[in-house]
Amino acid sequence: MKKFASAALVIAPMMLLSGCSKPSQDEIHAKLVEDASALQLSGDDATAFADCAAPKLHEELSRSSLNTYLEDGMEAEVAQDDADKSNKILEDCYNEVAPAA
């Protein structure tokens, strides 16, 4: 039991550092602003897009899909249900912001 407890103390922080925790809305927001240039959004429009999408993505998507998106970008392959949700969220938010763009 003592060995297990010691191993858990070593492994738990490593798991947190390796993407086992759910990213914050701020992390998602920052990544969306960074990647908004692919949608030809910049400045205030990129921020407005991220303001719209980040909380929805954080609420709707799984921890693993969010971590994959943060590491590999929004075009990364994730579970189909998360891909469908994220595509809908991103499209809706883009359409909300695009008329101002």
Answer whether residue 9 is part of any domain.
no
Name residue 95's amino acid.
N
User: What pLDDT is recorded for position 35?
Assistant: 87
Name residue 86's amino acid.
S
Number of domains in the chain: 1
C-alpha span between 101 and 94 (Å, rounded): 10
Mean pLDDT for back-to-back runs of 10 residues, the chain (101 residues): 38 45 95 86 91 97 95 88 95 85 48
User: What pLDDT is recorded for position 12?
Assistant: 39
Answer whether residue 93 is part of any domain.
yes
Coil/strand/helix, residue 35: helix
31 close to 64: Cβ distance less than 8 angstroms: no
What predicted TM-score, i.e. pTM, was given to this entire model?
Answer: 0.76
User: What pLDDT is recorded for position 100?
Assistant: 53
Full domain range(s) for residue 66: 21-100
